[in-house]
Chains A and B, each alone.
Chain A
């Protein structure tokens, strides 16, 4: 394969800070603790009425008082998606020791994964214009209606003048943003980038996913009468629980990070992707397997070097086994005893934020050697190829971990992370 820059002679990319906001916790340490304790962040929705919908739970962030995190600034022009992202970005920048002045001077940038940015803002802008006439449409809402709005608002808030990109690939968006950002740093186009994802929970997305039969308990589920069972890899799974969240890490050129004495939480060793153009099991499994193989190759590692997997599985009837089979195909014999977690069992499917939440959670595992379990996992499908998926948290020494995601529309991504000082 013509990978032009070999792992040994290219820039290394380290993680120097992390920030996140999820339905479980409002910090990366809190997220890891809650996941390891097996706590679920899924709850009855209060953000919007669900009487007309046959599905009522989601990973809602509640309470969320944005002003308490972001005091002394005017939040009025900022919508929920951007507010979530601003909180995560602030944590990541502070954690990596960047001062406000240095962020501006060094031209820190941002690569953001998101599916919708805010489809609520977009739809409310449209409906207001339809009801009251176009002259009553809100210019502020229009500014927030572009899909790169959250990235733009965050750049303005923190003075991020470096490259600023938004990447959309459904539930694979967060990992795709990592891959994009890593290549930018390796290519010398940025010394430091925030990378991750965001998604807000709103009626438009929730109702749309319900009508599409993708949510647990929505029509088309395997055993819909059982209620809402968003349990990844469990044979009874019947769809996912929608969620919201924001997660960002600070990625830096390792040499530049060392020079400024930055803390190192981990390293991004490699990434790879594939796409399933056919929507069949064979094609999807192949895309996931390719993503994993390419990520390992990019990292200069073999299957035996991987100590744990954070899967993107969310309870989808087809997606979960396709992802598992793809990972197993790429890892061969290693798949039989690889410790596996699927944190969407507790966090729900936060779409654009999901991959970044997986990465932030793995940083916690690097720290204390505890890999979260998959609460509720009782029995897997026959022949399930990842027997290291367990209901309870596992104690594992993890030096290198794999994060994977397969979107409902065929985007497969894999990222290989290393613990600090392990490569």
Chain B
């Protein structure tokens, strides 16, 4: 018998609001967070929109470290982590430090640090590179900074599996808890808005010029974003014993690799299907029991077509009656944070029986229920969160309603 894992706290920093309530209300209202990029000059690009986190003030969250001395992804992550702990009703001091761990995912780590290095390189000012480049740039500093902020001395893992990284980090935290290696895990993902990422996706023709329209026949791409989300995960018996509010149980996960192409998914959705099947097996659930699918749904022509194909393969006849939406239609693609934010949204959907919509959906390409343009009341017993990444890394996570 596997030990059960509870989700007891949620922290989110998104392009449409920070904090669990602001982000959730924004998503239910269909609010979109797209605006001309401010982080860098986009005049040389043919696209200009981004989903940046505007007006973010790290000061209330980053208390034990100097916010000016940390990278942006770390700041976003710390804000989400502190929110999540507060939401869980856990004071950092109330947890034995050596039994408290952190698992975070990311695509780029702290890309702005290497971008600053490159600016100095090209300006012939490398002598201005100080200790901060190596001190801040390595991606593992995100998890390290979160742990330093909270004094957590247990398991500390950074999993940079690109756009599926949040799900990977959550999956790892489940294993850590099931193996008894920690009493509480903060798990999630963080990414900062990045010139490198924007350049790359623009070069691939994957950025939409005006809006993000997952699953629409006329979709033109994704909109890069930034953000962070952290979930507090605890063994279910511990959570119950301390009387914690339980959003959902983290029921299982599945990982796979396409082993096909670095940036294109397998043409028949093989890897995505295997990840979903493994997650269902781990959770001991049949496809027909899934009440909501949180899609990867980037809004690129290829992703959405292959994801739909894979869902149909796994779910068969149940595919058409299972609501599936993409919140990337509102908050863009927040990279390594994306599947962590989506997992937090799944926990809320399971807890509150509401499903956020796929916005900007006018002509669905497929005959699935994409929850178009309006949130829906719907009993959610089991939610599946899908994420796919460069390198063919696929991860599906399943959350189950907790019956007290």
Contacts and interface: CB of A to CB of B under 8 A. Distances in A.
A167 interface: yes
B255 A163 contact: yes
Interface stretch (B24-32, B137-145, B341-349): B137-145
A318 interface: no
Interface string A258-302: 000000000000000111111100010011001000100000000
B118 A123 contact: yes
B214 to A, nearest CB: 22
B117 A152 contact: no
B257 interface: yes
Contacts of A127: 118, 121-122
Most-contacted residue by chain B among A155, A162, A205 (CB, 10 A): A155
A164 B133 contact: no
Interface stretch (B149-157, B285-293, B353-361, B373-381): B149-157
Contacts of A204: 114, 117
A161 B258 contact: yes
Contacts of B131: 211-213
Contacts of B111: 122
B204 A139 contact: yes
B112 to A, nearest CB: 11
Interface string B153-177: 1111111111000001000100100
Given A167-B157, A274-B98, A148 B391 contact: yes
A143 interface: yes
Given A156-B260, A213-B131, A149 B157 contact: no
A155 B392 contact: yes
A367 interface: no
Given A125-B196, A156-B261, A184 B175 contact: yes
Contact of A2 (B109, B148, B180, B202): B180
A168 interface: yes
A6 B107 CA distance: 36
Interface in B89-141: 97-98, 101-102, 106-109, 111, 114-115, 117-119, 121-122, 126, 129-131, 133-135, 137-141
A180 B157 contact: yes
A148 B178 CA distance: 26
A52 interface: yes
B400 interface: no
Interface residues on B, range: 35 or more
B257 A139 contact: no
A279 B181 CA distance: 22
A142 B203 contact: yes
A345 interface: no
A279 B175 CA distance: 27
B257 A152 contact: yes
Contacts of B129: 207-208, 211
A214 interface: yes
Interface in A133-155: 133-135, 137-139, 142-149, 151-153, 155
A314 to B, nearest CB: 15
Contacts of A187: 175, 178-179
A307 interface: no
A330 interface: no
Given A155-B257, A155-B391, A211-B133, A52 B126 contact: yes
Nearest to A122: B114
Interface in A183-222: 183-184, 186-187, 189, 204-205, 207-209, 211-214
A133 B44 contact: yes
A138 B393 CA distance: 22
Given A137-B200, A164-B255, A212-B135, A156 B158 contact: no
A275 to B, nearest CB: 4
B389 interface: yes
Given A147-B162, A161-B274, A273 B155 contact: yes
Contacts of B204: 139, 142
Contact of A125 (B150, B154, B160, B200): B200
B152 A147 contact: no
A149 B134 contact: no
B114 A115 contact: no
A149 B390 contact: yes
B257 A109 contact: yes
B23 interface: no
Contact of B144 (A131, A137, A208, A275): A275
A146 B162 contact: yes
B195 interface: yes
Given A148-B162, A152-B392, A409-B144, A165 B168 contact: yes
A11 interface: no
Nearest to B194: A126
Given A147-B139, A274-B153, A290-B98, A156 B133 contact: no
Contact of B138 (A168, A184, A276): A168
Nearest to A151: B391
B20 to A, nearest CB: 25
Contacts of A207: 126, 129
27 contacts: A2-B180, A4-B178, A52-B126, A77-B262, A125-B196, A125-B199, A127-B122, A134-B199, A134-B202, A142-B199, A153-B391, A163-B256, A164-B259, A164-B391, A165-B172, A180-B157, A184-B175, A187-B178, A189-B278, A208-B117, A208-B137, A211-B130, A275-B144, A275-B147, A277-B153, A294-B181, A411-B156
Counting from the closest, the 10 A-B pairs by CB-CB distance are A152-B391, A142-B200, A147-B160, A164-B257, A275-B156, A143-B262, A2-B180, A163-B255, A212-B134, A208-B134
Given A153-B391, A166-B160, A207-B129, 6 more contacts: A133-B44, A148-B162, A156-B259, A166-B159, A186-B179, A410-B144
Interface of A: 1-5, 52, 77, 104, 109-110, 115-117, 119, 122-123, 125-127, 129-131, 133-135, 137-139, 142-149, 151-153, 155-156, 158-170, 173, 176, 180, 183-184, 186-187, 189, 204-205, 207-209, 211-214, 273-279, 283, 286-287, 290, 294, 407, 409-411
Interface of B: 3, 44-45, 97-98, 101-102, 106-109, 111, 114-115, 117-119, 121-122, 126, 129-131, 133-135, 137-141, 144, 147-148, 150-162, 168, 172, 175, 178-181, 195-196, 199-200, 202-204, 255-263, 271, 274, 278, 389-393
